[in-house]
């Protein structure tokens, strides 16, 4: 049985990021850039008017010679001294223009414009924001919507990004129902939503989720059929009569990296790889214990595969908790580090009111710092 910190580190540090693939920039949001991207065109790409008004050349008064609106047309012939054109924000400034005189600073009478030019010329010069060739998306950064928009503005239509890890979820148990309120002897599937949330936050996505009865042949069939990078199995991971995962993985020559964790709740969790490279994450069937395991093993694993860093937060924690000799207690807490009392491995009620789960070693005392897992 691994210590909790060792198990978390194995899930975080063992996998390599998945291969990179070309991705349309607009569709790269949420992915990690696998290679730097540089501006293909300057921003702005041309001298452009920053205000509505008049592009002017030389000292005034100025004689109007036309109008330029924003659009693909060029800025027209060069302005001679003493002339001006009416111009819209975003339009190409013609050659020879020294400034844009905003409407509010100008006076027009017929075809003559007068006014005082201030300290600013109200012209955004080509490349003033981003010169062509400048770095716009560094490698290793999660592409945000704003970052993608900025890259598109600089002419970058494609990024190389780490392929997001795909997940198959197998929810085991004859007692589990996937829809409607549970009847006598039944429990509602709560893992599908939790795993989807953790997966999405870590940069992965659940491609398939299905219920599997407590039969080793059905579990083996579903495991063999899964074509995703990661297979998450809920339940079936302990030593009971209906727990078949260890036996099934043994028939498939799986390698265990984590087989049990010294924590409460959530100790019968595990992480394994199949010979074909697929990862298997085992979550206990009790809902709160399963949540703990998802944050301990599944989230750092998916973040590593997606190319995202996974670093634990720390904060002072206050309150009381039943500590675990030679292990850690994982307790729900508020954002200020105050422990919430009264939770068991089978209930999500207290965890649903929490902001974080705190990882409390056996020597922890109230007020001391502890590692923190953010509740999805």
Query: Residue 238: pLDDT above 80?
Result: no
pLDDT digits (tens, 9 = 90+) for 303-348: 999 999 888 999 999 999 999 999 999 999 999 999 998 777 778 9
Read off the pLDDT of each residue in 191-216 and give the average, rounded to a whole number. 95
pLDDT band at 77 (very low <50, low <70, confident <90, very high): confident
Give the Cα separation of 209 and 288 in Å (integer): 19
Give the Cα separation of 375 and 335 in Å (integer): 10
pLDDT digits (tens, 9 = 90+) for 127-173: 999 999 999 999 999 999 999 999 999 999 999 999 999 999 999 99
Cβ atoms of 266 and 250 within 8 Å: the answer is no
Rounded to the nearest 5 degrees, what angle is found at the Cα of 23, between the Cα atoms of 143 and 202? 45
Give the Cα separation of 84 and 55 in Å (integer): 5
Cβ atoms of 103 and 52 within 8 Å: the answer is yes
- Low-confidence winner among 18-22, 75-79, 263-267 (lowest mean pLDDT): 75-79
Residue 30 has φ and ψ, to the nearest 5°, of: 95, -15
Cβ atoms of 219 and 233 within 8 Å: the answer is yes
């Amino acid at each position: 049985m691994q210590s909790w910190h060792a198990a978390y580190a194995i899930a975080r540090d063992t996998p390599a990021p998945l291969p990179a693939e070309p991705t349309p920039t607009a569709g790269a949001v949420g992915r990690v850039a696998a290679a730097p991207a540089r501006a293909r065109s300057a921003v702005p790409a041309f001298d452009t008017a920053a205000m509505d008004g008049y592009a002017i050349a030389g000292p005034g008064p100025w004689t109007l010679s036309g109008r330029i609106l924003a659009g693909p047309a060029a800025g027209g012939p060069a302005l001679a001294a003493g002339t001006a054109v009416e111009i819209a924000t975003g339009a190409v400034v013609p050659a020879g223009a020294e400034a844009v005189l905003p409407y509010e600073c100008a006076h027009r009478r017929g075809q003559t414009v007068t006014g005082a030019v201030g300290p600013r010329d109200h012209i955004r010069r080509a490349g003033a924001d981003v010169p062509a060739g400048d770095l716009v998306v560094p490698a290793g950064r999660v592409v945000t919507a704003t970052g993608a928009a900025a890259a598109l503005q600089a002419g970058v239509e494609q990024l190389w990004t780490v392929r997001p890890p795909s997940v198959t979820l197998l929810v085991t148990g004859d007692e589990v129902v996937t829809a409607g309120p549970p009847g006598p002897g039944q429990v509602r599937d709560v893992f599908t939503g939790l795993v989807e949330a953790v997966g999405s936050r870590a940069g992965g996505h659940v491609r398939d989720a299905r219920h599997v009865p407590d039969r080793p042949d059905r579990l083996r069939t579903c495991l063999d059929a899964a074509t995703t990078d990661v297979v998450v199995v809920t339940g079936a991971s302990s030593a009971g009569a209906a727990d078949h995962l260890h036996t099934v993985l043994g028939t498939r020559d799986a390698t265990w990296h984590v087989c049990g964790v010294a924590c409460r709740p959530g100790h019968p969790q595990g992480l394994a790889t199949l010979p074909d490279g697929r990862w298997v994450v085992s979550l206990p069937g009790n809902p709160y214990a399963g949540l703990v395991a998802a944050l301990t093993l599944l989230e750092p694993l998916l973040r590593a595969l997606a190319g995202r860093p996974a670093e634990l937060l720390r904060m002072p924690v206050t309150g009381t908790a039943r500590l675990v000799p030679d292990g850690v207690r994982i307790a729900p807490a508020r954002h200020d580090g105050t422990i919430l009392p009264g939770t068991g491995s089978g209930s999500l009620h207290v965890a649903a009111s929490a902001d974080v789960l705190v990882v409390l070693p056996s020597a922890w005392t109230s007020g001391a710092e502890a590692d923190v897992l953010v509740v999805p």
